[in-house]
Structure 1
Amino acid sequence: MVDRSPGDRLFDALVYALLSIVVLVVLYPLVFVLSASVSDPAAVMKGQVWLVPKDWTWVGYSRIFQSGEIVTGYRNTIVYTVVGTAINLAMTICAAYPLSRKDFHGRNAIMAFAVFTMFFSGGLIPNYLLVKNLGMLDTIWALVIPNAVAVWNIVIMRTFFQTSIPHEVQESASIDGCTDFQILFRIVLPLSLPIIAVMVLFYSVAHWNAFFNALIYLTDRDHYPLQLLLREILILGEMQEMVDMSDASLAQKLLEVEAIKYAMVVVANLPVLLLYPFLQKYFVKGVMIGAIKG
Structure 2
Amino acid sequence: MNRIGAAGRWFDYINFILLTLLALITVYPFWDTLVVSVIPLSEYLSTTVHLFPRSLTFDSYTYLFSMKELWTSYGVTLFITLVGTIISMILTVMAAYALSKPNLKGHRVILFLIVFTMMFSGGVIPTYLIVKSLGLMNSVWALIIPSALNTYNLIIMRNFFSTLPEGLVDAARIDGCNDLVALVRIVIPLSMPAIATITLFYAVARWNEFFNAIFFISDKNLWPLQLFLRSMLFENESSYSGGGNSLFLLGPSIKMATVMVATIPVMLVYPFFQKYFVNGVMLGGVKE
Q: TM-score range by the shorter chain?
A: over 0.9
CA distance in 2, matches of 1:126, 1:141: 17
- Tell me which of 263, 275, 279 is aligned to 1:281: 275
CA distance in 2, matches of 1:118, 1:96: 16
User: Structure 1 residues 37, 290: CA separation in 2 closer, same or farther (over 3 Å shift)?
Assistant: same
1:121-172 Cα distance to aligned partner (Å, 9 max, x none)? 1111111110011011000110000000000100000111111x21111111
1:44-79 Cα distance to aligned partner (Å, 9 max, x none)? 354355221233110111111100011111111111
1:232-255 Cα distance to aligned partner (Å, 9 max, x none)? 11112xx47xxxxxxxxx562792
Q: Following TM superposition, by how much is the alpha carbon of 1:40 offset from its aligned partner in structure 2, in angstroms?
A: 1.4
User: Structure 1 residues 230, 41: CA separation in 2 closer, same or farther (over 3 Å shift)?
Assistant: farther
CA distance in 2, matches of 1:48, 1:122: 45
- What SS does structure 2 have at the residue aligned with 1:149? coil
CA distance in 2, matches of 1:45, 1:102: 65
Matches within 5 A, 1:167-186: 167-186=166-185
User: Which residue of 1 is the match for residue 125 of structure 2?
Assistant: 125
Q: Which residue identity does 1:270 align to in structure 2?
A: I
Q: Following TM superposition, by how much is the alpha carbon of 1:292 offset from its aligned partner in structure 2, in angstroms?
A: 2.4
Q: Following TM superposition, by how much is the alpha carbon of 1:102 offset from its aligned partner in structure 2, in angstroms?
A: 2.4
- What SS does structure 1 have at the residue aligned with 2:249? helix
CA distance in 2, matches of 1:37, 1:251: 14
1:210-260 Cα distance to aligned partner (Å, 9 max, x none)? 211111101111100111011111112xx47xxxxxxxxx56279212211
User: Structure 1 residues 261, 28: CA separation in 2 closer, same or farther (over 3 Å shift)?
Assistant: same
User: Structure 1 residues 207, 41: CA separation in 2 closer, same or farther (over 3 Å shift)?
Assistant: farther
User: Which residue of 2 is the match for residue 38 of structure 1?
Assistant: 38
User: Structure 1 residues 41, 124: CA separation in 2 closer, same or farther (over 3 Å shift)?
Assistant: farther
> TM-score by structure 1 length?
0.91
Identical residues among aligned pairs (%) = 43
Matches within 5 A, 1:63-212: 63-163=63-163, 165-212=164-211
Q: Following TM superposition, by how much is the alpha carbon of 1:10 offset from its aligned partner in structure 2, in angstroms?
A: 1.2
CA distance in 1, matches of 2:116, 2:89: 21
1:90-125 Cα distance to aligned partner (Å, 9 max, x none)? 110111000011221211111000000111111111
User: Structure 1 residues 123, 6: CA separation in 2 closer, same or farther (over 3 Å shift)?
Assistant: same
Q: Conserved in 2, the CA contact under 8 Å of 1:35 and 1:49? A: no
User: Structure 1 residues 18, 220: CA separation in 2 closer, same or farther (over 3 Å shift)?
Assistant: same
> TM-score by structure 2 length?
0.92
User: Structure 1 residues 168, 278: CA separation in 2 closer, same or farther (over 3 Å shift)?
Assistant: same
Q: Conserved in 2, the CA contact under 8 Å of 1:138 and 1:217? A: yes
User: Which residue of 2 is the match for residue 11 of structure 1?
Assistant: 11
- What SS does structure 2 have at the residue aligned with 1:44? helix
Matches within 5 A, 1:238-277: 239=236, 252=240, 255-277=249-271
User: Structure 1 residues 3, 180: CA separation in 2 closer, same or farther (over 3 Å shift)?
Assistant: farther
Matches within 5 A, 1:13-32: 13-32=13-32
User: Which residue of 2 is the match for residue 247 of structure 1?
Assistant: none
CA distance in 2, matches of 1:41, 1:256: 8
User: Which residue of 1 is the match for residue 222 of structure 2?
Assistant: 223
Aligned residues: 281
Q: Following TM superposition, by how much is the alpha carbon of 1:3 offset from its aligned partner in structure 2, in angstroms?
A: 9.7
CA distance in 2, matches of 1:46, 1:145: 48
Q: Conserved in 2, the CA contact under 8 Å of 1:87 and 1:148? A: yes
User: Structure 1 residues 186, 251: CA separation in 2 closer, same or farther (over 3 Å shift)?
Assistant: closer
Q: Following TM superposition, by how much is the alpha carbon of 1:271 offset from its aligned partner in structure 2, in angstroms?
A: 1.0
CA distance in 2, matches of 1:257, 1:293: 52
Q: Conserved in 1, the CA contact under 8 Å of 2:239 and 2:251? A: no
Q: Following TM superposition, by how much is the alpha carbon of 1:293 offset from its aligned partner in structure 2, in angstroms?
A: 3.0
